Structure 1
């Protein structure tokens, strides 16, 4: 009987610990988002520095263009893959002319946002966690508090604002790159008529879908930056702990990117019937 009671106590303690962790994260997320206002007002120079660091990179990464080049290449190959797979799949049923429709429809709604979100998590997010984690274990964050500088808006709020600001031009470039890659792969490589491709592409490219894809990516950027700043800000255990925190942050942010895509797609297109391929 005592074994059963001990097992019940362990389960109760584990459940209460999980609730405590969720509450701690919710409080941090709320405080982090609230700190963005002070970050914009009081730490404009730091915000601009972080924006440049996020978009162009630092050190060796700056030599290749930073996140701009990385996201551009990711969406370039993703758009080309959509074109090749779409041309082959549609060609098997004799409607390969609709490859332009597939490029306009799938790239905007799913492929480009998800690819950009993954790129954000793997580049900007991971770098943020590593930077904040290194500052935490070297007691630089505590030093800021000693100097009467609020570390949350200075380190976390500025990075959230920078992620939101930087993601808009980054995603615009990524979307253009995916469109260009799909056209080149279909017209130049696979030999489809450029006029046919452009006709179906322009017909089914809905401007509101493009706008909503930007909103989707901004939501992803906020989620990714909040998650990665949390794991970096609360890192412990030395360099090994920073590596563990970065891995956990990337894992959670990738799950969040896919979940945001699913929820927004269901909300926007779950009951929509806006595509009519026949009269």
Structure 2
């Protein structure tokens, strides 16, 4: 709240200083991302074991999370129920106008272009991303990162670039599982629960499932994984203020990554499908 005794000039100066700090923070964040990306070859050469360990940790989790299968199970279940929801809503809505046979089209169209990428990105932010922020934040506040630097271990390649590589590698099987789970759930709900003919469902599903859409969907998922890992590692690497500061960093990172996931989905849709949509509905 502004001080009543503060002049307009002083308020303008305070606003300019805040804007300057925000701009400097944005620049520092961009430099961190650049350093992390260009250090990937070094991380692959010098820290192979650490990269492999992170791939296993990202995929299957650690501690209590590993008991339920880690990120694999979480992403699978989220997209499984998403695919089922799309089938239920699609069949009910289409049945109102007498074209429930097109439920297979709903599954092939919406799952690939919107639902699976967005849900997978949210799952990545909530599991892999939040875990990376908490790990790096705990290392920062306990001065473990400073200790690595003292021992002549480059902290960005060792801690950040390895996680970036692991995220890009692990997202491919994770996203494949997510897409398959959504497809199976949609077919199960439509054919088993609603009693639609399997042949009818498969006909419309196969007709409208475009291979190039699946390819672009994978590209979108990989882009999301890179963005999520960069954002979360930055907030964890720069955390401060003890355990409370780590919690604040995790919250800020999740919020930022969720926004970025939606923005990437929007920009990808505009870039790929904005002109003609690559879609023709015919009899």
Q: Please indicate, yes or no, whether the TM-score normalized by the shorter chain is above 0.5.
A: yes
In the aligned structure 1, how far is the partner of 2:228 from the partner of 2:80?
22
2:10 is paired with a residue of what secondary structure?
helix
Matched, 1:152 2:156: yes
Displacement after TM superposition at 1:170 (Å):
0.3
Gap runs ≥5 in structure 1: none
Determine which of 179, 184, 187 is the counterpart of 1:180. Answer: 184
2:205 alignment partner in structure 1: 201
Determine which of 35, 49, 53 is the counterpart of 2:53. Answer: 49
Determine which of 6, 9, 14 is the counterpart of 2:10. Answer: 6
Displacement after TM superposition at 1:5 (Å):
1.2
2:234 alignment partner in structure 1: 230
Determine which of 229, 241, 244 is the counterpart of 2:245. Answer: 241
Matched, 1:192 2:196: yes
User: Mapping of 1:70-219 within 5 angstroms?
Assistant: 70-219=74-223
In the aligned structure 2, how far is the partner of 1:173 from the partner of 1:202?
19
1:38 is paired with a residue of what secondary structure?
helix
2:39 is paired with a residue of what secondary structure?
helix
Gap runs ≥5 in structure 2: none
2:111 is paired with a residue of what secondary structure?
helix
The Cα RMSD (Å) is 1.1
In the aligned structure 2, how far is the partner of 1:15 from the partner of 1:26?
17
In the TM superposition, structure 1's runs of 4+ consecutive aligned residues that sit over 3 Å from their partners are none
Displacement after TM superposition at 1:13 (Å):
0.7
Query: TM-score, normalising length from structure 1?
Result: 0.98
Matched, 1:16 2:50: no
Displacement after TM superposition at 1:36 (Å):
1.3
1:15 is paired with a residue of what secondary structure?
helix
Query: TM-score, normalising length from structure 2?
Result: 0.97
Name the stretch that deviates more: 11-20 or 104-113.
Answer: 11-20
2:279 alignment partner in structure 1: 275
Displacement after TM superposition at 1:2 (Å):
7.3
Q: Could you report, residue by residue, the CA deviation over 1:214-271 in whole angstroms, capped at 9, with x for unpaired residues?
A: 0000000000000000000000000010000000000000000000000000000011
